[in-house]
Amino acid sequence: MTRVKTVIYGMNTHHLQQLLNDGNQLLEEGRRLAVRRGQAVLVSTVCRADGADLPSLFSYKEKGFAENRFFWSEPGRKLTFAGLGCAYLIESDKASGRYQEIERRWTEIAAGSIGSEGAPEYAGPHLFGGFSFDPLNPSSSDWREYPSARFVLPRIMFTQMEDGVWITLNKIVSEHGEAPDWREEIDFLTACGSQDPSEEETADADADIIYKEETSPTDWMQAVEEAAEAIRAGEMEKVVLARSIRLYAEQDYPIAAILRRLLHEQTNSYVFAFGYGSSCFAGATPERLMRSKGREFHTLSLAGSIARGATEAEDQRLGEALYHDQKNLHEHQLTVQMIVDEMEALCEQVDVPDGPILHKLKDIQHLLTPITGWAREGATLLQAVERLHPTPALAPTSSSTRWSRWRRRSVSFPLPERSVGSASRCAQSRERCSAEVVHSTAQRMP
């Protein structure tokens, strides 16, 4: 692998040329393999970088890269991804079978892929995207660019870890025509050095809100009363209600600035952004739906909440009140039980501690119960996602159709090539076969 020097808005031209040459050798190999197999081959090349400002990638407007962008950062910021462009797209608007379709198509293209030797676990080909909560619920115009399931393999991906930054270039090589090259990708990385950082910094100021729409108090109280009546009537045990707020501004919301603010303020949350076309789905969430590592499935119940205190003493008092509140404990246990029931269908063993712990965020604290399962042979990440998505932490626990059709939200996550690759590849490196999924509510930035 080649070492590439990069700064916030630039990269070393000499090393980029070396990356181009090394990567083109892989493309030639991929072309020969595609012709021999009679089908397209995924080729990925990986190199190390010295640093990068990943939120700034949302400021670039170059055609072919701006239409598909993503950002993903774990709590604690030990692992962050950012990507541009689309090398491979998987979409589905099916009401059923969407999980299986995504898994089947990704497994097919990932199983026969080739790439750089010695790449770290979180570099190389990763698929990013998400599923809507309810494929049968009609989508509003806000979600016109987001089908029921959409996943993108980026053309360029940055991975930032504690030991540095890595760059991955991905390309699908066809068995037809001439072998492609990395010229456009390298030209883009080179062009990053020609943009004046001040152009982006001017967007860091708050967008001036000129108009706001939100649910009226009357409509909101009616929704609360209907939900309470449904619980009293036995139609459901638990429901999560949410109000939407629509903000209008004279200019586009600066996504790079929004990401920087979330990273700074929401240090214990997953921060994400998925930009498609003219829309961007961005936000922060503390909840991880599922993480797989080898045979282990790691999930959690995050339900039951109370505010943080203004002082340490008040914060402790509020936490103790939440920890002993029967209503919140009941709601939390409903979520725990649903997760355990679904995981037992896929796991040989499911471990749950005796009780929850307090999970403190910037403005709120939750009850949290970690749950671990050991997958049965053949059980996959997306099978677990299908069973758990969404959990009662965000959804009603109900068999009533009236309460099962609800306002659209989304789940989003990065899906490494190794997590759903061929069984033999996964078995050979179980400790490296990992992926994460988080729940996230809709926060669209026009």
Q: Give me the active site residues, please.
A: 238, 287
- Structure-block tokens of residue 152: 């993108």
β-pair partners for 357: 368
Residues in the chain: 446
Query: In the block, which residue shows the tokens 């996550």?
Result: 413
Q: How far is CA 18 from CA 5, 14, 44, 156, in A?
A: 12, 7, 15, 17
The C-alpha atoms of residue 6 and residue 49 are separated, in whole angstroms, by 6
Neighbours of 321 (CB within 10 A): 11
Measured over the CA atoms of residue 135, residue 378, residue 79 and residue 55, the dihedral's sign is negative
The C-alpha atoms of residue 137 and residue 381 are separated, in whole angstroms, by 24
Residue pair 119/156 in contact (Cβ under 8 Å)? The answer is no
DSSP string, 331-344: HHHHHHHHHHHHHH
Q: How far is CA 353 from CA 26, 333, 336, 374, in A?
A: 48, 12, 10, 15
Strands 68-73 and 245-249: unpaired
The C-alpha atoms of residue 82 and residue 59 are separated, in whole angstroms, by 12
Between helix 381-388 and helix 326-344 the angle, nearest 10°, is 140
The C-alpha atoms of residue 129 and residue 378 are separated, in whole angstroms, by 23
Name residues whose C-beta falls within 8 Å of residue 281's C-beta, 6 or more positions apart in sequence.
Answer: 130, 146, 272, 273, 274, 275, 410, 412, 442, 443, 444, 445
The C-alpha atoms of residue 261 and residue 255 are separated, in whole angstroms, by 10
Query: In the block, which residue shows the tokens 């899906």?
Result: 415
Closest CA to 11 of 57, 62, 43, 59: 57
Name residues whose C-beta falls within 8 Å of residue 127's C-beta, 6 or more positions apart in sequence.
Answer: 88, 90, 106, 151, 152, 153, 414, 415, 416, 417
